[in-house]
Amino acid sequence: MTEQAQRRTPAPPPGTYLGMPTFQKNAKVQLADPQLRSNLRHATGTIRAKRAERVAEVPEWEQLRLAGEAIKNRTLRHLDTYLVQLEESLTKAGATVHWARDAAEANAIVVGLVQAKGVDEVVKVKSMATQEIELNEALEHAGIAAWETDLAELIVQLGHDRPSHILVPAIHRNRAEVREIFLREMKQYGTPAPEDITDSPAELAGAARRHLREKFLRAKVAVSGANFAIAETGTLVVVESEGNGRMCLTLPETLISVVGIEKVLPTVEDLEVFMRLLPRSSTGERMNPYTSVWTGVTPGDGPQEVHVVLVDNGRTNALADPQGRPALRCIRCSACLNICPVYERVGGHAYGSVYPGPIGAVLNPQLRGISSKIDQSLPYASSLCGACFDVCPVRIPIPDMLVHLRHEVAEHKRGHVGVQQTAMAVAGWVLSDHKHFELAERAAGLAARALPNTTHLGPLPWPASPWTRARDLPMPPAESFRTWWRKERGEAR
Amino acid sequence: MAHRFGVGPRVALFATCINDVMFPGTPKAVVQVLERLGCTVEFPVEQTCCGQMLTNTGYFDAAVPNVRNYVKAFRGYDYIVGASGSCIGAVRHQHPMLAEHAGDPGLAEAVADVVARTYDFSELLVDVLEVTDVGAYFPHKVTYHPTCHSVRVTKVGDRPYRLLEKVKGLELMPLEAADQCCGFGGTFSVKNPDVSVAMGSDKARHVVDTGAEYLVTGDNACLMHIGGLLHRQNSAVRTIHLAEILASTEGGAA
């Protein structure tokens, strides 16, 4: 039997995130897919307009953003205190707290907890932390099936695919593609989709509902993440739209929540700021349909065994870097993805991580370091247009952080001799002194005089090809401004 | 107008490296407009570049000499003006960071001093000279692309629109998705050429759709990118810097 046949759940595409080529190479592949570009343009355009409309309704939006930033900064400044307080509160409320330094430890803890219950399947609430640690594959290797119950995550899982967006992981798929996936795959993993299903959203949602229902009712263990964890009370919060989260959080006997350590908030009162910032930034809604709030174990109601796995996985590295720290304020709303002109054109798969888009470009190199090609290329995956900062509900200065990370990459590559290093060394010399600059100007002027009838240069060979493949390059004029000024106004000033 | 003709302030011109070499018509236009408004314009020759290309590619050490040059060239002036939202933004936003990176408190102090007196051309006109009608005449249909750094870093706001509105004969055509980046992005344009061109092609399409004869911005680098695409497509739309429109008069072309 092949490995594919032995699996309990659909296999993801081959390869690993860290083994992916650079953003530039991935982007080229994605750009060549007209269906993807059309799906993304439509989806990001729609959600962007919805967000703008809902944000415009709140006159104190900028104050809310400042409050969100301030609360997160204070929490991160005293993270050690709040985390210990969270552990105490959770324990008092009947939950069991586990600490995980990295993905491997977190996965081992969850696998162990599920095995201890003697079951071979779990239902899952959509969770970025479990995507980040690749929990589903760790469970699969232990013979445990992890079923995604969020509609878009289900589409991704059944499509043998990877998520391409934080909030809408199947944003790269359209209805026709979803119909094909449901028809082909559902019958292999449970209740099949009706043979005569069309691509109407209601029918597709109905098929997912029936497919998931038996899994909800059968499951003994659920795995979730958390949007917020309140230190003062030990309360966890999950914000969602479909009600699948509520099913997972209330029906099974055992609930395991995997939570990044930056999700902690000091008090319940702090939620009022984030419950206003998150839905409007994320889905462009005034409020989200389902907010589940639970504090440990409530006897006779809901899961009677509650575990919380607190995961570091690179977060303390980011915390240690004053320039990188703001990324930990992120509440995973994905407003920066939706507004980003680069994301809109290449989609999430080019970023080599479950965190794509502008936030991914700053978060991944911090969580994973900059030793891989993909992580070295991510800080450059931006035109630095700044639109991401404008929409970020917690004011993460993504453009400044990208520049800071580019500096780290350049330092990491110090000593390498490449085109970029050479070009920057030459540019550095030319621009360091006006006498050097004037020499370069004279060279440009000579080139212009050598080609007196040329106004633009067309396609040129490497190294000019990246510019000139699609864009003409204007010729410099024979006389620079400086030369003109000297001629007209004399040497002195 | 706050300043009468001939007794306007003394202004130091920051030409910017790209305008100096590639688009000298733009700094010449700044000189023309400012002198028309009674200013005395000086050009400190020690200047080179804001260093943004080096900074944004991660080469902070190589960018520090640019900060020192800028301070050396422009110290002592009450008003320093450049016709680029991006370069002025880099001076204001990145020079303090680079001075800190250099670990030089003296430089940081000098930077804070010079940065506070550095203006984008549109800001100098509207805020310092308190003028929106500069006596320009440009009888053409134009569309304006608000470049990202002019809006989000330098924060020129609606000043360019207010200046364009007062140009005689000019018809301003609204640009769809004006707030979206054109995809130039400095070294992004050659490090990620495919994405850059995809973004630029959409911008160029929106520009052509306006029916304008000219695309105007306050940044020649963005114009070089969008204009390069338009030229390759044999489009009739020409590119022009805001300063060159403002320098045009009924008596003669800019």
pLDDT in tens, B236-249: 999 999 999 999 99
Q: Is residue B113 in some structural domain? A: yes
ipTM: 0.95
Q: Does residue B254 have a pLDDT over 80? A: no
pLDDT tens track for A322-342: 999 999 999 999 999 999 999
Pairing of strands B214-217, B238-241: parallel
- Report the number of distinct structural domains present in chain B: 2
- Choose the closest CB to B58 out of A23, A410, A491: A410
Per the structure, the complete domain to which residue B69 belongs is given by 10-128
The per-residue pLDDT for A407 is 97
Residues B153 and B178 in one domain: yes
Domain shared by B87 and B21, yes or no: yes
Chain B nearest-CA residue for A382: B188
Which of B128, B153, B184 is the C-terminal boundary of a domain? B128
pLDDT interval class at A418 (50, 70, 90)? confident
Of B58, B187, B231, the CB nearest to A456: B231
CA angle B13, B15, B17 (to 5 degrees): 150
Q: Give yes or no: residues B168 and B238 share one domain.
A: yes
> Are B78 and B183 in a shared domain?
no
pLDDT above 90 covers a percentage of chain A that reads 92
**B40 and B111 part of one domain:** yes
| The pLDDT of residue A5 | 54
Indicate if B27 and B61 belong to the same structural domain. yes
CA gap A486, A492 in Å, rounded: 8
Burial A454-492 (b: 16+ CB within 10 A, else e): eeebeeeeeeeebbbebbbbbbbbeebbbbbbeeeeeee
Neighboring chain B residues of A24 at a CB cutoff of 8 Å:
191-192, 194
Interface probe for B, chosen from A471, A473, A491 (most Cβ of B below 10 Å), is A471
Confidence (pLDDT) at B8: 87
Determine the residue among B14, B16, B45, B149 to mutate to test chain A binding: the one whose Cβ has the most chain A Cβ atoms within 10 Å: B45
Q: Do B109 and B212 have their domain in common? A: no
Q: What is the CATH number of the domain that holds B191?
A: 3.40.50
The answer to whether residues B96 and B192 belong to one domain is no
Q: Are residues B123 and B212 in the same domain?
A: no
Give the model confidence (pLDDT) of B42-70 as tens digits: 999 999 999 999 999 999 999 999 999 99
**What is the nearest CA distance from A35 to chain B, expressed in angstroms?**
15
What is the reported pLDDT for A310? Answer: 98
Q: Tens of pLDDT along A187-237? A: 999 999 999 999 999 999 999 999 999 999 999 999 999 999 999 999 999
Q: Which of B128, B163, B190 is the last residue of a domain?
A: B128
Q: What is the pLDDT at residue A324?
A: 93
User: Both B177 and B237 in a single domain?
Assistant: yes
B192, part of any domain: yes
To the nearest whole number, what is the mean pLDDT of chain A? Answer: 95
Per-residue pLDDT band at A479 (split at 50, 70, 90): very high
Residue intervals in chain A for CATH 3.40.50.10420 = 58-311
Two structure tokens written together for B243 = 């300063």
Asked whether residue B20 falls in the same domain as residue B120, the answer is yes
Confidence band (pLDDT; 50, 70, 90) for B1? very low
Instruction: Report the topology of domain A58-311.
Output: Rossmann fold (3.40.50)
| Cα gap A54→A230, rounded to integer Å | 27
DSSP state of A296: S
Confidence of residue A491 (pLDDT cuts 50, 70, 90): low
* Sign of the alpha-carbon torsion through A56, A58, A62, A65: negative
Same-domain check for residues B162 and B116: no
